[in-house]
């Protein structure tokens, strides 16, 4: 029974959200609000069950019950949490800047070293590796080859020169800068193609569900939900037009 109700809800909310493509309407608004509400509730429960309980409560509670396994240091996390919440009150909001500073500082340090290591050194290493021409063919589609490696090096240099603003883009710099634009455009084009693929994949997923629930086992949820939503949109359109006339 739960599966059938779940199927009906899935189809109804899918079609309700899709109805926005026709125009903004009360059914879409309902689905939107339900989605936001459910998502917020779900996240809250997950935060309690997977974060607050195991990382804080289960470690701190034994301290007050004399049971083994208590960790005083975990109280610090609780104090930080309360300091964050003090932001909600005007007079005490300044307190929240302390845990925020610690958090921003920690993440900045972690990201800086990680980014330098992976995106800078790692990528430099990868680009320099392209200069190694030993044992590779002149050209092969989609595989390391001399021409492909030269394209990578040329692409990196030209795109970097496009973003080099310390000198006026004249002469050689103008040429490399323009070449850089072409490399960027090709990159954006491929990203666009992949974006279309991603969106279509999501659509396929929804159609798959809609098709699954359009069987006698689910009492033809898709057909009934579609008829209801189309009828609702038609009636609300008629009412709106009448209201405009009057």
Residues in contact with another protein by CB under 8 A are 21-22, 42-43, 46-47, 50-51, 54, 106-107, 110-111, 114-115, 117-119, 121-123, 125-127, 129, 142-143, 152, 187, 190-191, 193-198, 200-208, 211
Q: What is the longest distance spanned by two Cα atoms in the chain?
A: 82
Q: How far apart are CA 76 and CA 63, in angstroms?
A: 14
As measured in angstroms, the least distance from the Cβ of 7 to another protein is 15
Based on CB atoms, which residue is closest to another protein, 53 or 89? 53
Is the Cβ of residue 93 or residue 106 nearer to another protein in the bound state?
Answer: 106
Nearest Cα to 12, choosing from 205, 237, 209, 208?
209
10 Å Cβ neighbour count for 218? 19
CB of 122 to another protein, least distance (A): 5
d(CA 136, CA 129): 12
Closer residue to another protein in complex, CB, 123/240: 123
Nearer to another protein among residue 45 and residue 82 (C-beta): 45
Q: How far is the CB of 87 from another protein (least distance, A)?
A: 19
The C-alpha R_g of the chain, in whole angstroms, comes to 29
Joined together, the tokens standing for residue 183 give 């490399």
Nearer to another protein, 176 or 210 (CB): 210
Q: Which two tokens stand for residue 191?
A: 């990203």
Report in angstroms how near the CB of residue 179 gets to another protein at its nearest: 18
Judge whether 127 and 156 are in contact, CB under 8 Å: yes
Which backbone phi and psi does 101 adopt, to 5 degrees?
-65, -40
Output the smallest distance, CB 222 to another protein, in A.
11
């Amino acid at each position: 029974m739960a599966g059938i109700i779940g199927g009906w809800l899935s189809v109804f909310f899918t079609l309700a959200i899709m109805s926005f493509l026709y125009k903004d309407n009360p059914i879409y608004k309902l689905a939107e609000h339900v989605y936001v509400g459910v998502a917020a509730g779900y996240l809250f429960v997950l935060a309690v069950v997977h974060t607050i309980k195991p990382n804080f409560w289960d470690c701190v509670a034994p301290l007050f019950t004399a049971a083994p396994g208590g960790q005083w240091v975990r109280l610090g996390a609780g104090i930080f949490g309360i300091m964050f919440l003090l932001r909600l009150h005007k007079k005490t909001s300044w307190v929240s800047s302390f845990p925020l500073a610690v958090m921003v500082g920690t993440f900045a340090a972690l990201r800086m070293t990680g980014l330098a290591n992976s995106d800078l050194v790692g990528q430099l290493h990868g680009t320099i590796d392209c200069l190694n021409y030993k044992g590779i063919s002149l050209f092969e589609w989609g595989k390391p080859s001399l021409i492909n490696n030269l394209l990578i090096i040329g692409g990196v240099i030209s795109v970097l020169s496009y973003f080099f603003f310390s000198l006026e883009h004249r002469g050689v710099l103008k040429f490399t800068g323009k070449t850089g634009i072409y490399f960027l455009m090709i990159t954006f084009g491929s990203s666009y193609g992949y974006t279309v693929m991603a969106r279509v994949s999501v659509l396929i997923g929804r159609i798959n569900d809609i098709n699954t629930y359009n069987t006698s086992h689910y009492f033809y949820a898709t057909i009934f939900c579609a008829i209801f939503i189309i009828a609702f949109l038609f009636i609300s359109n008629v009412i709106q037009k009448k209201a405009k006339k009057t």
